[in-house]
């Protein structure tokens, strides 16, 4: 039988920050959960929009125009090509959606292995 | 300044069931919120997977293989072409993601006007 994907249960399986785990697939995209804390690097994606949905905590997305602040149940899509820098003052849990194969920072040299849970 | 998309606030702007509202866009897909209650019709989508994330309530997805039961924070992707019938015994709030232009039932004749909020 097909099973639902429980996001909190998936997040409970790991503790590392900034290391997304693939939990599903949708139309050529990876559905990922990730725990983040601290400041990431400024980056952009040449070939994909970047979907962020906050599940727990508060995320700041720094953008060229200013900051977007997201709480639980809030989402934001960073358009393709737009520079952004995610910042989490406390630990934040996110659902991310990106085209399959998109590296974290938009730079192929930084692509981490694809981890599926 | 860009603003976050608050899913609960978007859902609070309407009361109708089975009438998705578009709240954002992502890589050629619509991000939609919808309130559902009761039983929909069996249908499939020829050209797209169908993404369901439960925000509130409990959703049953009837599938050829059996039922998937989803609570808050649980998601399921119905693969392209697979018949399904959503059922909500009480009102359920969902985030849906479908390719832009996908009609509700997979049948172009039933396509509802695209409502953006």
Burial class of residue B110 (count of CB atoms within 10 Å of its CB; 0-12, 13-18, 19+): exposed
> B7-103 falls under which CATH superfamily?
Jelly Rolls (2.60.120.10)
Contacts with B48 from chain A: Cβ below 8 Å: 27
Q: Do A1 and B74 touch (CB under 8 A)?
A: no
Tokens of A115: 């981890």
Q: Do B51 and A76 touch (CB under 8 A)?
A: no
Tokens of B104: 């509700």
DSSP 3-state of A51: strand
Contacts with A58 from chain B: Cβ below 8 Å: none
| Nearest residue of B to residue A60, measured between CA atoms | B4
The ipTM is: 0.91
Contacts with A77 from chain B: Cβ below 8 Å: 24-26, 31
A7-102 adopts what CATH topology? Jelly Rolls (2.60.120)
Contacts with A92 from chain B: Cβ below 8 Å: none
Facing residues of B83 across strands? none
Say what the pTM is. Answer: 0.92
Domain limits, chain A: 7-102
Nearest to B68 among A3, A31, A73 (CB): A3
Q: Report whether A90 contacts A58 (CB < 8 A).
A: yes
Q: Give the pLDDT of residue A106.
A: 56
pLDDT tens digits along A51-99: 999 999 999 999 999 999 999 999 999 999 999 999 999 999 999 999 9
Instruction: Work out the pLDDT band at A1, boundaries 50, 70, 90.
Output: confident
The Cβ of residue B84 has, within 10 Å, a number of other Cβ atoms equal to: 21
DSSP 3-state of B11: helix
Q: Give the pLDDT of residue A37.
A: 98
Q: Do B27 and A2 touch (CB under 8 A)?
A: no
pLDDT tens digits along B6-32: 999 999 999 999 999 999 999 999 999
Q: Report whether B54 contacts B94 (CB < 8 A).
A: yes
Q: DSSP letter at A17?
A: B
| Nearest residue of B to residue A75, measured between CA atoms | B5
């Amino acid at each position: 039988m097909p099973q639902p994907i429980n996001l909190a249960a998936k997040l409970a399986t790991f503790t590392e920050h900034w290391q997304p785990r693939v939990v599903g697939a949708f139309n050529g995209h990876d559905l990922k959960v990730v725990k983040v804390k601290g400041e990431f690097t400024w980056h952009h994606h040449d070939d994909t929009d970047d979907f962020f949905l906050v599940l727990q905590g508060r995320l700041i997305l720094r953008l060229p125009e200013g900051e977007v602040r997201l709480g639980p149940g809030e989402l934001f899509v960073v358009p393709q090509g737009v520079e952004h820098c995610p910042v989490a003052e406390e630990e934040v849990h996110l659902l991310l959606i990106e085209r399959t194969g998109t590296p974290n920072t938009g730079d192929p040299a930084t692509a981490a292995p694809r981890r599926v849970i």
